[in-house]
Structures are given as C-alpha cells and as structure tokens.
Amino acid sequence: MKIKINQPFIDKFAGDRTYNPMQRQTPEVLYALVNPIGYPKAELIHYNKELAKSLGFGSPLTAEETDLLNANPPGDLKTYATAYAGHQFGNWAGQLGDGRAIGLGEILDDKGNSIELQWKGAGATPYSRHADGRAVLRSTIREYLMSEAMFHLGVPTTRSLSISLSGEDVMRDIMYNGNPALEPGAVMIRTAKSFIRFGHFQFLTANGKIDALKNLADWVIGRYYPSIQNLEGKDKYIAFLTEVQDRTICMIIDWYRVGFVHGVMNTDNMSILGLTIDYGPYAMMEEYDLKFTSNTTDLPGRRYAFGQQGNIALWNINALANALYPLIDDTDAIRHVLDNFEPIFWKRFDVMMSAKLGLDLDDIQANQTLIKSWQLMMLDLKLDYTLFFVELMKYRENGKFNLENICYQDLSDEQRKSLDDFLKAYDTQLENNTLSKQESLKLMREANPQFILRNYQLYDAIQDAEKGNYAKFEKLYEALQNPYENKFPELQQKRPDWVDGVPGCSMLSCSS
Ligand code: AMP
Ligand code: MG
C-alpha cells in the first residue's frame, strides 16, 4: 500500500499480543491486539476527500485503500483496542476501553502532523463488555456528520474520514423498551491527533501501574505538549494538568458558543487534547434552556445538561488530577490549578458572549449586566439559540427583529416587552461601543453560525439513507462546510412541528 501507517503507540507500550478477542480485564497492559471482524460485503458510501488527500490517499481511491476504509485491512497491519477506565454519570465504572473502536495507527499528513485513525463499528474487542462492537448506520451517520460540522464551526474535535455500510444488519433496541429491531450496520473511520482520554490515565492509576502512568504522561507531553517537556519533576505534571484544563475550557466555551450539548460527558469521553470526542446522544440546543439534555439516560439528574457542561468539565478535570496525583504528590499545587478553572472559564465565557453580541472586547465587565439580562430574557422566552443571533445580526444591519421565525411558543405581551427591553438596553450599550458597526458585525458573523446540524435534519437524512437514498445526507454534508454563511436558507429554519414527540428527533438514547 502506498500509504505508510506508523504505530508508535503499540511500539511504545506493553500490550496483550495474543489476538484473543474474548472480553476480559487487562489490568497489566494498555491495549490488546485485535483484528476487525471483516466485512466482505462492505460498501463505501462516502468519504472526506479533502481529509483523505491530506493523508495521502489516492484520487480515485485504490482498491486497497477502499478495503482499508471498509475495515478490511491488509493482513500484516497490527490493529488494536486500548484499555481505559472512567466515571460514568459520576460513578466509578472500572475498566471500559475501546469496545467498538479499533486503532489502525497513524499517518503523517501533508502538514507533517501524525494523525491517528480508528474504525468505529469494526467488531468486538476484549473491551466490548457483552456488546457486539458493531455500529448501526443511524449512529454512524450522526457521528460522521456532526464531527465534521463541529470542525467547520471551528470547535476542537475528532474528524470523520469515511463511512461504509458493513453489509450486515445489527439488532438494536433504540428506546431501551424491549423492542429490538434489525438496522443496517455501518463502520466509519475517525481521525484525531490522538484518541487518548482522561480514562487512560485513570485506568493506569486505578491498577497501580505508576511507572506506566509516568510513561504515558511523558509520551503525551512529548508529542502533544512539547513546550512543557523540559520541566523537571512534579512541575512537568502540574503544567500538564494546567494545559489540559486550559484546552478543555476552550472546548467547552466553544460548545456554549455554538449551542452543542454532548450528552455523555463521562471521564472516558474526555480527550487529553481537549477535542470533542464520542458523538452519541448529542444535540445542538434549539430553544434556549440551561437544563436541556439530549440524552434520555441523563433525564433523571440532568447531569450533562447544556448549562452543566462547564461544571462537569471541572468535575472531570478533578478526576484527571486524581489520576495524575501519584506523579505530583502535592495537594496544594493541584488545588491551585483547579481553583483557576472557574475564573478562567467565566472570563472566556464573557468574552465569547460579548463577541456573539458584537460588543467591545476590551472592557468585558461593562458587558456583564447586558449578558445577564439577555440570559434571563432567553430563559423566559425560550427562543431558538442559533436563530436569535441570526436575527440579532439582521437587527444590527436594518433595525428589524423577526420574533416569529425563532419562537416555539405563544408569547405573552409581557414576554414580548422583555425582548423589546433587551433590545433597548442593547442599543444603549452599543452607543458606548468603541467598535465601528462594521467591526462589531464582523465579530458577530465569526461567532454566530447561521447553519447548525439539527437532530431532526439528521433524523430525516437517516430515514432516507436507511432506504438507500443519500441525497439529504449529501446536502447536509455540503451545508455543514460553511456554517457561517447564508447558503442554505431552507436548512436554517427553526424545528418544525412534526418533530415533536418523534423519538430520535430531539432526544436520543445511547443505543448505537
Ligand atoms: P459510550 O458511552 O458510547 O462512550 O460507551 C461507553 C463504553 O461502552 C465504551 O467502553 C464503549 O466502547 C462501550 N460500547 C458502547 N457501545 C458498544 C458496542 N456497540 N459494542 C461494544 N462496546 C460498546
Ligand atoms: Mg465513549
């Protein structure tokens, strides 16, 4: 094969090389070699041409490259599943691991970056925990499209390289209510600089593998945080925690900017590079609601609701700090890092909100009252989060604000007045703005997407794709490339009424 795949992770760390796919605990090692199940009838339905080109894939793809995308690799490629652990919904869950993902290794891209590749849905691994390691077309399309949508929105994320039908049906109980049904199976390749998670560190610490913990931390620092690699002793790991915290905060602020709700922020779903990873029952929030959760499993506690994501990120950083403790052994130093989370977070939050509103960025404090009153108005009126800002940009341009386009309920006169009051306060604030109107609009256009991928649009595209019609899928793929432009007005509408109560349209289960 023309493409050269490197495997620094399995070259560096101890693994279980027996190729035994049986599900088991592997407390001594960080990965187990495992072969994909093999899909002789697989069919590539889409691939990311720009990403494939940057990784050196041919155009058109060679037969061997297509086989690789279809999870039928050449016989000499060692493929592997990694072991991690984590807290799920706040509870320690012990060993988890790549149960549905299999690693291929890394390819050097045209910019000299090492990019890791993983199949998702290529069959069971030692970490599949009584599940089948397969994926259905429904959940695969959701990850395939949304991770690319996030990439083009400018949010740190894993990416999607390809999606194939596996050629086999898979049984799933979508609503977890005892009604399993066969669905078309699929497999995708996702890419990232690294798929290492907080949970990998938790796994080693929980198993008392402190030498391996140090090796993994040093390896991650050397490859992805080179600016701190020459620090000595505990200072290096304190700096590491600080850097991971910083990237995690950046990611969450971007989630708030675009209205993303991850839905399953367990520590095993937290990337050590601050990337959005593991797209499951996520949603782009439509009506503004801090308590909105997209995951049916999360409904009892709403632990992972939109407004909770900052708190949960801190909770997860705490879990990472515990995992790194053996390398730091200094509670005060760790406390000092964690104490900085909230001030950094809120400062960046106010900057982000100020940009969305097109306000001065040099005196953020002066914007705080307006941001607060905006939030109270939105919580009461429950307007569409994305479309509110699209309307606000129009209001800045022509002084008109169309409430009907962005509203999901009948509003009282009082509620309409609270929007008018907000707009008056906004105008007053703008009078004190040192930014020109053009500068302010530029800030807004860069912070506020016009197109977001809504769950009902995904649902609609998936229904057709399951019948072999990919036209809607292709259209969404095209629209998500330019989310800050007004290219597809018909896709930039509030959620239609038919969606209400349809499972999979606004709320989702983890079933994948
Ligand atoms: P998630 O909540 O999707 O991040 O998954 C939690 C754990 O369950 C991870 O270790 C996954 O690899 C595993 N898992 C989820 N779905 C499957 C599946 N269909 N087959 C095997 N393992 C799975
Ligand atoms: Mg996961």
Neighbours of 402 (CB within 10 A): 12
With bands split at pLDDT 50, 70 and 90, how would you rate the model's confidence at 362?
confident
CA distance 365 to 347: 9
> What's residue 212's pLDDT?
97
C-beta separation of 33 from 13 below 8 A: no
Q: Which residue has a Cα nearest atom 11 of ligand 1?
A: 99
Ligand 1 pocket: which of 23, 87, 96 to mutate (most atoms within 8 A of CB): 96
Q: Which residue has a Cα nearest atom 14 of ligand 1?
A: 99
> What's residue 1's pLDDT?
64
* Residue of higher predicted confidence among 510 and 190: 190
Give the catalytic positions in this structure: 268
Q: Which residue has a Cα nearest atom 6 of ligand 1?
A: 96
pLDDT-above-90 percentage for the chain: 94
Q: Which residue has a Cα nearest atom 7 of ligand 1?
A: 96
Residue 280 Cα: closest atom of ligand 1: 3
> What's residue 175's pLDDT?
84
155 CA distance to ligand 1 centroid (A)? 24
CA distance 64 to 60: 11
Of the CA atoms within 13 Å of residue 330, those in its CB half-sphere come to 14
Residue 98 Cα: closest atom of ligand 1: 12
- For the stretch 446-468, pLDDT in tens is 999 999 999 999 999 999 999 99
C-beta separation of 159 from 192 below 8 A: yes
Largest alpha-carbon pair distance within the chain?
Answer: 70
99 CA distance to ligand 1 centroid (A)? 5
* pLDDT > 70? residue 142: yes
> What's residue 504's pLDDT?
79
Residue 129 Cα: closest atom of ligand 1: 22
Instruction: Please compute the mean of the pLDDT values over residues 477-491 and round it to a whole number.
Output: 97
- Average per-residue pLDDT in the chain? 96
Ligand 1 pocket: which of 37, 129, 138 to mutate (most atoms within 8 A of CB): 129
39 CA distance to ligand 1 centroid (A)? 20
With bands split at pLDDT 50, 70 and 90, how would you rate the model's confidence at 116?
very high
Ligand nearest to the CA of 133: 1
Query: How far from 377 is each of 4, 70, 127, 371, 420, CA to CA, in Å?
Result: 55, 49, 47, 10, 10
Ligand 1 pocket: which of 22, 119, 128 to mutate (most atoms within 8 A of CB): 128
Residue 132 Cα: closest atom of ligand 1: 20
145 CA distance to ligand 1 centroid (A)? 19
Instruction: Please compute the mean of the pLDDT values over residues 402-421 and round it to a whole number.
Output: 96
Containing H/E element for 376? helix 368-381
* pLDDT > 90? residue 375: yes
- For the stretch 485-506, pLDDT in tens is 999 999 999 999 998 888 778 7
Helix (H, G, I), strand (E, B) or coil at 23: coil
CA distance 201 to 15: 16
C-beta separation of 506 from 472 below 8 A: no
C-beta separation of 385 from 406 below 8 A: no
C-beta separation of 190 from 161 below 8 A: yes
Report the DSSP beta bridge partners of residue 43: 165
C-beta separation of 457 from 507 below 8 A: no
Q: Percent helix, strand, coil in the chain (nearest 5)? A: 45, 15, 40
> What's residue 73's pLDDT?
96
Residue 124 Cα: closest atom of ligand 1: 21
Nearest to 270 by CA among 293, 292, 303, 244: 244
- For the stretch 315-328, pLDDT in tens is 999 999 999 999 99
Q: Which residue has a Cα nearest atom 8 of ligand 1?
A: 99
Report the DSSP beta bridge partners of residue 261: 283
83 CA distance to ligand 2 centroid (A)? 12
- For the stretch 270-288, pLDDT in tens is 999 999 999 999 999 999 9
What Rg do the C-alpha atoms of the chain give, in angstroms?
A: 23
23 CA distance to ligand 1 centroid (A)? 13
Respond yes or no on whether the N-terminal peptide bond of residue 60 is cis (omega within 30° of 0): yes
CA distance 408 to 383: 7
Q: Which protein residues are within 6 Å of ligand 1, measured from CB?
A: 96-100, 127-129, 131-134, 264, 269, 278, 280, 510, 512
> What's residue 2's pLDDT?
81
Ligand nearest to the CA of 277: 2
> What's residue 108's pLDDT?
98
With bands split at pLDDT 50, 70 and 90, how would you rate the model's confidence at 174?
confident
Residue 133 Cα: closest atom of ligand 1: 20
> What's residue 511's pLDDT?
78
Ligand 1 pocket: which of 100, 118, 173, 510 to mutate (most atoms within 8 A of CB): 100
* pLDDT > 80? residue 329: yes
pLDDT-above-70 percentage for the chain: 100
